Chain A
Amino acid sequence: METHLEAESATARIVRTSGRMAPVNYLSREHGVKSWLLTTDHKRIALLYLFTILFFFTIASVAAAMMRIELLTPQGDLVTSETYNKLFTIHGVLMVWFFLIPSIPAVLGNFVIPMMLGARDVAFPKLNLISWYLFIIGGALALWSLVHGGVDTGWTFYTPYSTTYANSHVISMAAGIFVAGFSSIATGLNFIVTVHKLRAPGLTWFRLPLFIWSMYATSLIMVLATPVLAITLGLMSLERFWGIGIFDPKLGGDPVLFQHLFWFYSHPAVYIMILPGMGVISEVITCFSRKQVFGYAWIASASMAIAILGFLVWGHHMFVSSQSIYAGMVFSILSFIVAIPSGIKVFNWTATLHKGSISFHTPMLYALGFIGLFTIGGLTGLFLAALAVDVHVTDTYFVVAHFHYIMVGGMVTAFMGGLHYWWPKITGRLYPEFLGKISAIVLFIGFNLTFFPQFLLGYLGMPRRYHAYPPEFQVFHVLSTAGATILGIGYLMPLMYLIWSLKHGRLAGPNPWRATGLEWQTESPPPKHNFEETPIVTGPPYQYSAEEDNQIEMANV
């Protein structure tokens, strides 16, 4: 045992002193705009996506900030109702389709999936680049709609408002989402084929990192659900443009049909917006507690169960829509059941900490924050699945709070955690740890202050998408806006220190976290084709030993 420890600390020393920038890496190998715009390197494409989604995140955040300022007072006094409606529409559309859906998959997934598999790239590198261009075209259409006056339908495009009554750029915005959807389909397809065909020798399915399992499940949803969105938006545009009667009863259509079609995509899409986050958490929790994951097969199966069951619960968005009450009961029970695999994951992550050697680096703070916020988001989802309570709280701030706990508290927190975790791999440099921890805590506090009061607002009956509201709700709105300010600071800090670290961060070396994944077994930043030699896998993932690693120091502690 003693010799073992000596060997460990020797390695630790090596790790600390081996901080150097890989001399020829994917970033330094080629220069110039063309080398980026025509790249088929999954790592460069990941960065193209990163810049693009940050751009859309910024616009959508500004829209949110304006809404929060408007809601400080009960009267609608900062912007007009028309503008307010356009603000929440643009916030929803951009955040869902141009930030959250591509966030972890297209940025972190693109970067690390091939590396985790020991592959040189994704299965179809050119298709990968085409995905990004489709995303850019979709984004450009969305921006065009925004600049020419915006859209006021809400991100849900409910008919017949969107087809007949809305007086804004519905078709061009729908076209933007339609095109971006194909980007999503192509990325999903690429990942599925990559996982099937490009695993390193010895990397069997049950040796895959859990991030791969969750991305595989996500990709299945992307490929299977997104076409339904395309069809739905297509039909909506046909009705709006040519007056074909599909959804508007005045033309012989059925408006509830639109809701069925829309949620048949958009509920599974919720899982596109959380499964990848769960994958990140499995990587981070194991690394920073130096433990093999608890219940590997259960977590992996839970991802697949969520992907499948997620297709069967869309009607829980429609309990008061005039859908049959018996259909409502079926959707309700299925919605309770889909929560079970999420619960399994949370319990397994918790059990992973047992007998670990836990350090609280920034990624770990985000991972623990994720578990807390996702747990609250998931539990409040059960309130919405419970039929009688849903009747009262649907279309109120309770729903707004619930899905922000999942999408921001869950997915964005995981994205931040993953970004910090893989930042040394992506850039070759470490972010400043102290600032990292501070901003993770600031984000956690800001988030809760923003969204927790909205649960109370919702149960009190404050409807969502209200520009003005009765004065007794003001206290909660003021708290929420105060929280949003803190949240804003929490996002600006990482933006600044991460940019700073690109030049001034300490050199990371290949494996600053002493992590076991294949992506850490090569230089940082990685060479163009990731590995000098194809790695051979001989055992399960997460071969950490808390007992042996208890004395180690990670790179920048």
Chain B
Amino acid sequence: MMDDFHLFPVDASSSAQQVDWLFYALILMSLFFIAAVFLPIFYFSIRYRRGAKVDRSNPQIGSNLLETGWTVLPLLISLGVFTWGALVYFRLETPPANALQVQVVAKQWMWKLQHAEGKREINELHLPLGTTISLTMTSEDVIHSFFVPAFRVKQDVLPGKYTTEWFRPTRLGEYHLFCAEYCGTNHSAMIGRVVVMRPADYEEWLNSGETGRSIVFEGHRLFQERGCSGCHVDSRAIHAPPLEGVYGKQVPLASGEIVTADDQYLRDSILVPGKQISAGYENLMPSYTGHISEAEIMQIIAYLKSLGEQRPER
């Protein structure tokens, strides 16, 4: 799939054909308008060329009917295309539940990825065919963009923020992974490959070589080692919000706002605890900025997410 000459890109995800159909429709629409402009221009240029003896009497210099026509018709076509584009976009931007999670940390100039089971990769992403994958992504430095042309997906990867991207591979093979947002000197070397494998091969790959411990396991270890558990697990000395069941909940803040405890909220609470204080608590927690890596924060969040209603262990 890589290195072969193509006129159109391979479609290897469940979204690819949807984007392609819209693209073909846009080409058809373009051909229609090109014909509507170019054919009269050619025709008039020949028929009414200087010196040609044709009837030029009573030239029109305006027609509200025509003007209305070429205002309204393109407008209607545009609204149709807009709606189509927006529907597919909505689907592209809304990750389905129960997707296989992969965490992505970008930095100048490499992609660091970790599978939920713990396997780590650099500039490569192995995936099982037919499984929905959801990437949670952030950057350690500048803005990057995770682009897999064969999947027709792209999402900027920002420092200080989580973004997500999802796809369901539908074709075995190896595909390009590009950084699409200019990120400095070796931007064009920030490339890699996505390998779509049969599920059985993927399992085998997952368990071969250095497999590591699962993200949740690592998150639990960090939760204890970094002292989170000291306060957040039934501590009598310090009044800290309990974390069981917090993921995805509505959290009332001291400021009176109510926020959803999503990945971004938990990340901010670890790095900048004073930013959004839970109602009823004091701002006692030290900031972990500079003491913890982006990958580690993602692991802790994965652990918190895995807790459900269960109380974390000390």
A residues within 8 Å of B by Cβ? 76, 81-82, 85, 152, 154, 156, 158, 160-161, 164-166, 248-250, 254-256, 289, 291-298, 319-322, 325, 328-329, 332-333, 336-337, 339-340, 343-344, 346-348, 350-351, 353-360, 368, 371-372, 375-376, 379-380, 382-383, 385-392, 394-396, 456, 459-461, 463-472, 475, 546-547, 550-551
Contacts and interface: CB of A to CB of B under 8 A. Distances in A.
A468 B189 CA distance: 7
Interface stretch (B77-85, B110-118, B239-247): B77-85
Contacts of B184: 85, 152, 161, 165-166
B308 to A, nearest CB: 28
B6 A292 contact: no
Given A354-B48, A460-B149, A386 B85 contact: yes
A469 B188 contact: yes
B61 A382 contact: no
Contact of B185 (A85, A382, A390): A85
A470 B2 contact: yes
Given A395-B180, A466-B187, 11 more contacts: A165-B108, A165-B142, A298-B62, A319-B89, A332-B89, A353-B45, A385-B85, A389-B23, A463-B188, A470-B2, A470-B191
A394 B180 CA distance: 8
Interface in B47-90: 48-52, 55-57, 59-63, 66-67, 70-71, 74-75, 78-79, 81-82, 84-90
A204 B246 CA distance: 69
B216 interface: no
B26 interface: yes
B152 interface: yes
A327 to B, nearest CB: 12
Given A460-B9, A471-B3, A355 B48 contact: yes
A350 B179 contact: no
B205 interface: no
A347 B37 contact: yes
Nearest to B54: A355
Interface stretch (B121-129, B157-165, B227-235, B278-286): B157-165
Contact of A344 (B49, B67, B87): B67
A376 B26 CA distance: 12
Interface of B: 2-9, 18-19, 22-23, 26, 29-30, 33-34, 36-38, 40-41, 44-45, 48-52, 55-57, 59-63, 66-67, 70-71, 74-75, 78-79, 81-82, 84-90, 92-94, 108, 141-143, 145, 147, 149-150, 152-156, 158-161, 163, 176, 178-189, 191
A81 B186 contact: yes
Contacts of A161: 142-143, 182-184
A350 B26 contact: no
A82 B189 CA distance: 12
Nearest to B8: A459
B145 to A, nearest CB: 6
Q: How would you classify the secondary structure of chain B's contact residues: helix, strand, loop or mixed?
A: mixed
A325 B56 contact: no
Given A461-B178, A465-B188, A472-B6, A546 B59 contact: yes
A480 B86 CA distance: 33
B78 A387 contact: no
B61 A160 contact: no
A353 B159 contact: no
Given A354-B59, A546-B59, A386 B81 contact: yes
Nearest to A290: B50
Contact of A354 (B7, B44, B87, B150): B44
Nearest to B32: A379
Contacts of A461: 9, 147, 149-150, 176, 178
A382 B160 contact: no
A353 B163 contact: no
Given A298-B67, A388-B89, A292 B61 contact: yes
B286 to A, nearest CB: 17
Contact of A158 (B3, B86, B182): B182
Given A298-B67, A376-B34, A471-B3, A340 B74 contact: yes
A390 B180 CA distance: 13
A294 B147 contact: no
Given A249-B160, A358-B48, A81 B185 contact: yes
The 3 residue pairs across chains A and B that have the minimum distance between CB atoms: A461-B149, A249-B160, A387-B89
Nearest to B55: A355
B159 A468 contact: no
A375 B50 CA distance: 25
A534 B181 CA distance: 56
Nearest to B109: A81
A358 B54 CA distance: 12
A229 B43 CA distance: 45
Contact of A391 (B3, B49, B152): B152
A487 B92 CA distance: 39
A304 to B, nearest CB: 15
B48 A325 contact: no
21 contacts: A81-B187, A81-B188, A164-B142, A249-B158, A255-B143, A292-B59, A295-B66, A332-B85, A336-B82, A351-B60, A355-B55, A358-B44, A358-B49, A375-B37, A382-B78, A388-B18, A388-B85, A391-B89, A392-B152, A463-B180, A467-B188
B161 A249 contact: yes
Contact of B61 (A248, A294, A344, A459): A294
B188 A340 contact: no
Contact of A358 (B50, B61, B141): B50
Nearest to B164: A322
Contacts of B179: 463
Contacts of B92: 388, 391
Contacts of B187: 81, 85, 465-467
B40 A353 contact: yes
Contacts of A82: 185
Contact of A386 (B9, B26, B48, B141): B26
B51 A463 contact: no
B296 to A, nearest CB: 17
Nearest to B159: A249
Nearest to A161: B142
Contacts of A254: 160
